[in-house]
Amino acid sequence: MTVRTRIAPSPTGFLHLGTARTALYSWSYARHHGGQFILRIEDTDVARSTQDAVDQIIDAMKWLGLDWDEGPYFQMQRLQRYHEVAEQLIAAGHAYRCWCTPDELDAMREGQRARGEKTRYDGRWRPAPGKVLPTVPAGVQPVIRLANPLTGTVRWNDLVKGPIAIDNEEIDDLILVRPPPEGSPEGTPGVPTYNYAVVVDDWDMRITHVFRGDEHINNTPWQINLYRALGAPLPQFGHHPVILGDDGLKLSKRRGAVSVTAYRDSGYLPEAMLNYLARLGWSHGDDELFTREQMVSWFDGSHLAKSPAMWDPAKLAWVNAQYLKQATPERLAGLAAAQLASRGMVAPEPASLVAACALYKDRCSTVVELADWIEMMFVDVRPRAEDLAELVTDAVKPALRALRERLTDAPWDKAGIAAQMKAVLGEHQLKMPQLAPALRVLVCARRDTPSIDAVLALFPRDTVLARLAKV
Ligand code: GLU
């Protein structure tokens, strides 16, 4: 058997973190087993689906490097297929048409509520031997419903959660197909519901392992019953717990940035994002940092967490910082230049940009922070008054003036600058911990920097002289 997995996002918004994590697990599982990974766009919610969301999803998948072997397939291009399968299900007695109007359904539910019963479709259009069905009303377009088994229990051994059992009595006759929108030309196929289209697709696409969020656990019994009605082989299901925010509530679009591309734009590296997402619900011993190749070689579907993981921005920043340390300055220079461009700034010439990335990358958590360091080299900085008062004292000012003098024609590199600093310290009976902080504040408007001689050497000489002239 060839392992075939898929990710099936709905293009009603950006690719959010939970879906990205599911995509990562599905992709890794397929790659681990030498199988295939498929991208399917579930765009049947026509009112909410947009091309922009499709583009963003594809963009995010590519950025993460989750390459797919087939697709993207679009459900709205497969309506004819769902229609055909629905007709087969009706012919075989596994599905039926229901002409209930929305008003009738409301009345049905109200009655059930009044009687203290669970609200559900009461099966009034479900054919049964000897049963007389209502008269088909004029002007009502029917839906197609699954004739869900009335008894028995649906069981599966979830790859994440273990054995799950749900009684058929708990679930009603799901709508499979809704009528086409009003005014559609004669013969337009109806629109499938999620639970129906997902099964036809996973069957047609020969999906062997379905990973998804556990908000779909309650849908799975219907889907399993549909597979059985179709005589289709059952895939294995794995339902991942939700990701929680630090307030213990589910991460959602409404509660802060949860799109993958927002993290790219905030200066995270794709390999850090993947590494962090992977660990959020899966483990390999105590390993915190691993490559994509290691993930693929380790990810066999075991060690998936059963309970929700907490989104931890501080840990993500730490992971990203580790990857920034490992990244080459040349690569970071490109990312930093793009970050500066997004601020409307032109990056310094390549050699100095690369040198700056090499110097600053070890103390950054994101490319945004890296760009902040680089920006200070050519955008005027404003030292804080309290830093000036504390560190640029009368005791050190004469030395700063003398250093400025010396730097006007000293060799402009780390060693040249260090030599002038040393000379000034000797002449003025000062120590480095007095001079260096004052230089940092004046030139960089920061209290901490890498070695100040190396930092100054990255600046154009005139910029340093101009900032020191303010003493
Ligand atoms: N379109 C569904 C979603 O985004 C897919 C669920 C599934 O993978 O079956 O939640």
Name the closest-CA residue to atom 10, ligand 1: 9
Confidence of residue 258 (pLDDT cuts 50, 70, 90): confident
Q: What is the pLDDT of residues 158-196, one digit of tens each?
A: 999 999 999 999 999 999 999 998 888 988 899 999 999
Q: What is the pLDDT of residues 71-129, one digit of tens each?
A: 999 999 999 999 999 999 999 999 999 999 999 999 999 999 999 999 999 999 999 99
Say how many Å lie between the CA of residue 199 and the centre of ligand 1. Answer: 11
Could you give the domains of the chain? Answer: 328-375 (1.10.8), 385-468 (1.10.10.350)
Distance CA 403, CA 408 (A): 9
* CB-count exposure of residue 454 (10 Å: 0-12, 13-18, 19+): middle
Q: Which tokens go with 71?
A: 């697709």
Task: Examine the pLDDT at 294 and tell me if it is beyond 90.
Answer: yes
Task: Examine the pLDDT at 433 and tell me if it is beyond 70.
Answer: yes
Say how many Å lie between the CA of residue 335 and the centre of ligand 1. Answer: 33
Q: What is the pLDDT of residues 33-74, one digit of tens each?
A: 999 999 999 999 999 999 999 999 999 999 999 999 999 999
Q: What angle is formed at CA 250 by the lines to CA 214 and CA 322, rounded to 5 degrees? A: 95
Q: What is the pLDDT of residue 311?
A: 92
Confidence of residue 256 (pLDDT cuts 50, 70, 90): low
Name the closest-CA residue to atom 4, ligand 1: 9
Smallest Cα–Cα separation from 417: which of 436, 397, 438, 395? 436
Q: What is the pLDDT of residues 335-392, one digit of tens each?
A: 999 999 999 999 889 999 999 999 999 999 999 999 999 999 989 999 999 999 999 9
Amino acid in the structure at residue 73: Y
* CB-count exposure of residue 367 (10 Å: 0-12, 13-18, 19+): buried
For the annotated catalytic residues, the residue numbers are 253
R_g of the chain, CA atoms, integer Å: 31
Whether 375 and 340 have beta carbons less than 8 Å apart is answered as yes
Which residues pair with residue 238 across a beta bridge? Answer: 211
Task: Examine the pLDDT at 257 and tell me if it is beyond 80.
Answer: no
What is the longest distance spanned by two Cα atoms in the chain? Answer: 110
Report CA torsion sign: 372, 408, 397, 419.
positive
Say how many Å lie between the CA of residue 19 and the centre of ligand 1. Answer: 8
Place of tokens 């196929």: 189
Distance CA 9, CA 397 (A): 62
Ligand 1 neighbours, Cβ below 6 Å, are: 8-10, 42, 198, 212, 216
Whether 420 and 403 have beta carbons less than 8 Å apart is answered as yes
Side-chain half-sphere CA neighbours of 42 within 13 A: 19
Distance CA 325, CA 314 (A): 17
Say how many Å lie between the CA of residue 72 and the centre of ligand 1. Answer: 14
Instruction: Using the atom order of ligand 1, give the atom closest to the CA of residue 211.
Output: 8
Instruction: Using the atom order of ligand 1, give the atom closest to the CA of residue 42.
Output: 1
